[in-house]
Chain A
Amino acid sequence: METTVETTGKEGKSWGGGNEPLRSSYGKMMMWFFIVSDALTFSGFLAAYGFSRFKFIESWPIADEVFTHVPFFHGSYPMIYVAFMTFILIMSSVTMVLAVDAGHHLNKTKVTWYMFFTIIGGIIFVGSQAWEWNTFIKGEYGAVQTKGGNILQFGKYTTVDDKETFQRVAVADFAQVVKTERVVHERKNGLWYETGAPMPKFTVNEVLEGLKANPEVLVRTQILTEEGHKTVLSRDESIKQITDNGKQVVHGANLHVNEYGAPIFADFFFFITGFHGFHVFSGIVINIIVFFNVILGTYEKRRSYEMVEKVGLYWHFVDLVWVFVFTFFYLV
């Protein structure tokens, strides 16, 4: 009479029901499902970035020339600031995993402190991201956009340590003021309550006059040479290009124009780092909620800090994505 309804031949089998075959709780499984799908979303974005880059492989901006700033320092320091940001994010990942570890030992004080440091790390990262955006939007040298949407930048050859190098020159440093007829349309004139677009800082004509007046200034196009540098035009070619094709002077980058090169580079930069930054931001918010729950003793009462572990998984994932963004935007 032993073999009744209760024994169905499934005892001791992992997938027979009534146990956790993957030895992972429901919440953690769901976090993993989310992470896998989010990873696919991010790789979709990065693959699209790769697509556009391969499409314009001969004229893609060189990241080293775009991201060269460090707060409070003048001069060109490519990579340094992003490396710092990467380190901050890895560091906050470490404090997060230490919080998880302390949670396994039910050590409330330690979990509280490690969660606190994780949140601080996240805030520093998002702040750095905002600063980076600000620098990118403001731009540095300015450039002329052609009718075909290409970018012409300016610079001159200077000798540094017996080596002739091409140094960029800002538009504002050589453009000449030319009197023009155009004035900003104000809302009190003509069509009421309509304001025209603000006047550009410089017109193409002013840049052209400045170029003619400064014989050492040359135009640099986006096209990469065999050695991976941007092509510098001759003096005659420079003036010809600006005269024939110059359409508008651009400063900095936004979703329409980008003084560093292809506008789609700026679009992807804003979109992907923005989407990642939003993940970091929501990670900070969730971390803060869990942090207060830790302080209030919610998990102490449950005798389980699994919630810290789950938010930790999310936080590490954000770090993981940044590792890839770092590689594909700043290194490769």
Chain B
Amino acid sequence: MAQEHKLEIFQGLLKFKSNTQKIWGVLIFLSFITGVEVVLGIYKPEILMVQVLGMKGLNWIFIILTLVKAYYIAWDFMHLRDEKPALRRVIVWTGVFLISYLMFVLLQEGGYIESVFRNGFVKNTF
């Protein structure tokens, strides 16, 4: 792999002097996000409990923060940022396409079965 590292994160907003510094910077950022998640998870602010697109707003925030964390782990810890774009795309697009497809199909089906339990003639309250 290339010895040179791309040292800026946040679209070039933050540029580090060395690779080691960048690693610690990313650690601070990831810990911060985990901290936010834990605080939100413990206090569960009322304002975020509204339903957005079939799920609680808070859950969407958790999922988005998780994807942000995943991005920085893959890009900086796994050095995807320094790889050739072609390799990066092979890895990321394959996963993103197949996983979102699978998630959609299974969650849709789960929701349908739930509606059968609720509206149909299946009794499970005994």
Q: Identify the A interface with B (CB < 8 A).
A: 21-25, 28, 32, 35-36, 39-40, 43-44, 47-48, 50-58, 64, 78-80, 83, 86-87, 90-91, 93-94, 96-98, 100-101, 104, 146-150, 228, 245, 306, 309, 312-313, 316-317, 319-320, 323-324, 326-327, 330-332
Contact = CB atoms under 8 A, between A and B. Distances in A.
Interface of B: 1-3, 19-20, 23-24, 27, 30-31, 34-35, 37-38, 41-42, 49, 59, 62-63, 66, 69-70, 73-74, 76-79, 83-84, 86-87, 90-91, 94-95, 98-99, 102-103, 106-107, 109-111, 113-114, 117-118, 124-126
A22 B86 contact: yes
B31 to A, nearest CB: 7
A101 B20 contact: yes
Contact of A319 (B77, B102, B110): B77
A32 B91 contact: yes
Nearest to A309: B1
Given A47-B102, A97-B77, A313-B78, A87 B34 contact: yes
13 contacts: A21-B86, A22-B86, A23-B87, A35-B91, A36-B95, A55-B114, A57-B110, A58-B118, A93-B73, A100-B79, A101-B19, A150-B126, A331-B59
A57 B114 contact: yes
Contact of A23 (B1, B42, B69, B125): B1
B70 A320 contact: yes
Given A23-B1, A51-B109, A317-B78, A332 B102 contact: no
A16 B90 CA distance: 19
B69 A47 contact: no
Given A23-B84, A98-B23, A58 B77 contact: no
B83 A22 contact: yes
Contacts of B124: 148-150
Contacts of A78: 41-42
- A23, A36, A54: most-surrounded residue (chain B CB, <10 A): A54
B23 A101 contact: yes
B41 A36 contact: no
Contacts of B2: 23
B70 A323 contact: yes
Nearest to A42: B99
Given A22-B83, A332-B63, A54 B99 contact: no
Contacts of B74: 316, 320
A54 B1 contact: no
Nearest to B83: A24
A53 B55 CA distance: 13
Nearest to B92: A36
Given A54-B110, A319-B73, A24 B1 contact: yes
B106 A47 contact: yes
A327 B66 contact: yes
B53 to A, nearest CB: 14
Given A51-B106, A87-B31, A316-B73, A79 B38 contact: yes
Nearest to B124: A148
Contacts of A104: 3
- B3, B41, B98, B99: most-surrounded residue (chain A CB, <10 A): B41
Contacts of B77: 93-94, 96-97, 316, 319
Contacts of A52: 110
Contact of B99 (A40, A150, A245, A316): A40
A27 to B, nearest CB: 11
Given A80-B38, A327-B62, 13 more contacts: A22-B87, A54-B107, A56-B114, A83-B34, A90-B31, A90-B34, A93-B77, A94-B23, A101-B23, A316-B77, A320-B74, A323-B73, A332-B62
A320 B73 contact: yes
Given A150-B125, A316-B77, A54 B63 contact: no
A79 B41 contact: yes
